[in-house]
Structure 1
Amino acid sequence: MSSRILIVDDLVPNLNLLEVKLAAEYYDVVRATNGLDALKIARSENVDLILLDAIMPGLNGFETCAQLKTDPATWHIPVVMVTALEETRNRIRGLEAGADDFVTKPIDEFNLMARVRSLLRLKMVTDQLMSHTTDSAPSRDLIDHLSRKRGNVLIVDDQQNSAARIENVLGDSHNITAQNDPKEAIIAATRNVDLLIVSLTSEAFDGLRLCARLRSDPRTQDLPILAITEMADEDIMVRAYDTGINDTVMRPIEAGELQARVNTQLKRKFYADSLRDDFHENLEMVISDPLTGLGNRRFFDRSVGPLLEGVTYGRTFSLVVFDVDHFKRVNDILGHDVGDDVLKEIAARLVTNMRAIDIVSRYGGEEFLIAMPGATADEATAAADRIRGLISGTPIFIDGAALKVSVSAGIAEAQKGEKVREIFKRADDALYAAKKAGRDQVMQSQVKVAA
């Protein structure tokens, strides 16, 4: 599916020209002739990027951009301001309104498309992250927080005076370090850096090659890069965008424009980071047991699938079901807080005494389930009995008091053609037999399934 681009201009000939250029690159184009219509479309339709004319009657482009960037529903959509105004103050005004980039008229097609591709790549990454979170849009408080957050900025420039000027502009708002050696810069970029500012005019190293190297490294492939170029280096700038940089700033560097571009890149970086954190937190909540930190039932069911598939090809694994003996009595007499402490200690002993390849989970209540890849029933029984003896032979100390706890276990070796629930049923039946025989022991399922 092609990316959808909203073009906004009050002059129909300008809209026609842009639509032809974009359609030739197979983009899906939506049009608006004023700021109010642009806001409605951005809020109600799936838009990937907005090309926004700065000078329009009524709600002009600067005001439209400001509203887009303060609305949690549209804040993440990249905006490129398109204008005939070339003064630096107008670029700064647009950037401060939240624009991600600026293109001046008459439009250079190669320059425009390079910027469009760069911003669409960024939008795609953001969309992927948003699809894994519970909230579809950031809150206004989050946007405000990200706007005020200090970033760690690494400057890569062989001209000390240039690096010093950049540090002077950004130093009050962000943490700045400088590097003139590209090899050292690559190492430094992997260490808690939020934005890289790279000179493409360096005589000591190839800035484009450095950017390409950073984009090919998984550790830095998403790190925002702001490239410094000369005003006349249009070809280098286009190549830089194709390499994967996020933005450019021209020499001589204007302080307000630099600050605005840096803040825009950092805000996007921090938002992407917050989405990743939310994703990992949500994933952790989905697959982890909050009490013991072990995988939960869902985690186990997902993890054991490949093991079950391996049985078809002659590999084996065994299932061990552990259950804490007389656990209800612990809860009833000593309270649920003590019961929770017992479960956490049992979980810790299971994890520290099983192999790294074993899948250990809390399956529910006082029941723990372990899948042992490559282990026969006899091998799993020996391992389970060793842990059973360790648990029953070593008291659990809670608030200075020694508590003797035992566990029982049932074992079942996976057979070809079985489903997980069938293996579990056999292991659970063996556990029931161990409980019935007096607890604090391990029993093995003797049922054989026909191949």
Structure 2
Amino acid sequence: MAGKILIVDDVATNRIVLNVKLAAAYYETVQAATGAEALVLARQVRPDLVLLDVELPDMDGIVVCERLKADPATRDIPVVMITAFRDTARKMEALQAGAEEVFWKPLDEMVLLARLRSLLRARETAEQLGLRDSTYRELGLAEAPRDFAAKALVGLVAGQADTALAWKRALQAHLDDRILVLDRETALGNFAGGKVPDVFVVAADLARPGDGLRLMSDLRSRPATRYSSVCVMLPEKGREVAAVALDLGAADLLEQSADPAEMAIRLQTQITRKRQSDRLRASVADGLRLAMTDPLTGLHNRRYALPHLSRIAERAEAAGRQFAVMVLDLDRFKTINDTLGHAAGDAVLVEVAERLKSNLRAVDLIARIGGEEFLVALPDTTLEAARATAERLCRVVGARPVRLKDGASVQVTTSIGLALGGRGTRGVEDLIGLADTALRESKAEGRNQVTIRRSAARA
């Protein structure tokens, strides 16, 4: 499943229609007919997102949103509110209560699904931040969070400078942050010696229709602006542009006719998320500095990997999802050390570590846990996806020889043992043991291959 969504609507027909649409997109759903039921279910099932009707029989949907956002157990769950009344004031109330988005009925299915995908990607970043922080705390290596409370920088890019200046004048009454008008070339500059905008607002159409989306893709591909949020300003009839922009990575969509106060709320939300993302990357850097990595390869070491794997397992248990554990071992590595020397062996380990890391997701765990042994964990995966990842890792390790400093090269392959965990499985040590058993089978059956062992349920 792509994620678990709580549908809250007092009209059964509405819930059924939404359930059909979401099931077709491979989402799992749970349903509530009242605000009170929604609050209980949100705590019990911890959905990835809440679709919440504004008008409920027992309490105002906006009050439900406020309570969800005030509860530490549910405050990080994105809330999308739905209303049959085109009431701008109520929309503002919903956004101020913490809703990430508000849709009018009838729903535009294409834009709705694109928005859900976008919000779920953002939630993944927040969840990984929590996982990493809890791991560092358990290890006694947590530091106070870095202070990202300084004024943010918002960059505005429109087709005409006058248009961007009008946006700036409208936003200045609602934002305390710095606002900068940019043209396309300046936005793509290297910002040498200057602060990169935390959030860009880019018109979907610049010199030509769709130019803004191309600019967004360029911003997300460049090192200087890769981590900035990009909000797309939609043209008046921008239904298809909206869905494409979200799937290309837009953090949010702004309508030209929207109230400036609404735009400001949306930008503040993106600034907050940008700071969360900054903190996630900073926590990784702090972890490296605090010696939670293998000094040779730069990967996490066993001391970090095992507690973090426990966090992944706990999250999988709570959410009823699966995760995968792999143990990888380089084939005939001792021969490389014995014939070419330990410097050559170290060079091989460094290169293999880089190949493995570059072929995993940012949310995956990779660690060096022994001489030539690596551990990989894949959160929120399936057996098929984990198998495909393991086979890809096998291929990339052996795809080309490792070049050594003296100009020589050496061919390297790896054997992999894979085990799948989830709700009801044994502890992580047992799961690693299963993966290790599968690894030995890979070695015995000829090396350079993947063997899978299914985990056994807890007694």
Common topology (TM > 0.5): yes
Correspondence for 2:169 = 168
Say whether the 8 Å CA contact 2:159–2:205 is kept in structure 1.
no
Q: CA deviation at 1:28?
A: 0.5
Change (3 A) 1:282 1:184: same
3-state SS of 1:267 partner: helix
What does 1:247-266 correspond to in 2, within 5 Å? 247-266=252-271
Change (3 A) 1:114 1:247: same
Query: 243, 266, 272: which one pairs with 2:277?
Result: 272
In 2: Cα distance, 1:310 partner to 1:109 partner:
54
In 1: Cα distance, 2:136 partner to 2:65 partner:
20
Say whether the 8 Å CA contact 1:88–1:257 is kept in structure 2.
no
Correspondence for 1:198 = 202
- Name the larger-Rg structure: 1
Say whether the 8 Å CA contact 1:316–1:374 is kept in structure 2.
no
Please, what is the CA RMSD of the aligned residues? Answer: 3.6
Say whether the 8 Å CA contact 1:51–1:80 is kept in structure 2.
yes
One-letter code aligned to 1:31 = Q
In 2: Cα distance, 1:186 partner to 1:273 partner:
20
Correspondence for 1:244 = 249
One-letter code aligned to 1:202 = L
1:312 aligns with 2:335: yes
Q: CA deviation at 1:3?
A: 0.8
What does 1:65-84 correspond to in 2, within 5 Å? 65-84=65-84
Say whether the 8 Å CA contact 1:199–1:207 is kept in structure 2.
yes
3-state SS of 1:56 partner: coil
What does 1:294-443 correspond to in 2, within 5 Å? 311-313=334-336, 314-317=339-342
* Deviation per residue, 1:155-212 (Å, 9 max, x gap): 11132232223222444511111112x2321235795321110011323671111122
- State the TM-score, normalizing by the size of structure 2: 0.59
One-letter code aligned to 1:184 = T
Structure 1: stretches of 5+ with no match in the other structure: 319-372, 376-451
Correspondence for 1:150 = 151
Change (3 A) 1:150 1:68: farther
Change (3 A) 1:306 1:285: farther
In 2: Cα distance, 1:67 partner to 1:161 partner:
42
3-state SS of 1:154 partner: strand
Q: CA deviation at 1:219?
A: 5.1
Q: CA deviation at 1:218?
A: 5.5
Change (3 A) 1:131 1:288: closer
Q: CA deviation at 1:216?
A: 3.6
Correspondence for 1:183 = 185
1:87 aligns with 2:112: no
Structure 2: stretches of 5+ with no match in the other structure: 138-143, 305-327, 344-403, 407-459
Correspondence for 1:442 = none
Say whether the 8 Å CA contact 2:5–2:48 is kept in structure 1.
yes
Change (3 A) 1:40 1:280: farther
3-state SS of 1:153 partner: strand
* Deviation per residue, 1:338-367 (Å, 9 max, x gap): xxxxxxxxxxxxxxxxxxxxxxxxxxxxxx
3-state SS of 1:196 partner: strand
* Deviation per residue, 1:108-142 (Å, 9 max, x gap): 111111111111121223223332221799xxxx9
Say whether the 8 Å CA contact 1:150–1:174 is kept in structure 2.
yes
Change (3 A) 1:48 1:299: closer
1:214 aligns with 2:219: yes
In 1: Cα distance, 2:170 partner to 2:288 partner:
40
Q: CA deviation at 1:2?
A: 2.8
Say whether the 8 Å CA contact 1:101–1:247 is kept in structure 2.
no
Say whether the 8 Å CA contact 1:5–1:27 is kept in structure 2.
yes
In 1: Cα distance, 2:9 partner to 2:234 partner:
29
Q: CA deviation at 1:25?
A: 0.6
3-state SS of 1:10 partner: coil
Q: CA deviation at 1:278?
A: 2.9
Correspondence for 1:122 = 122
- State the TM-score, normalizing by the size of structure 1: 0.60
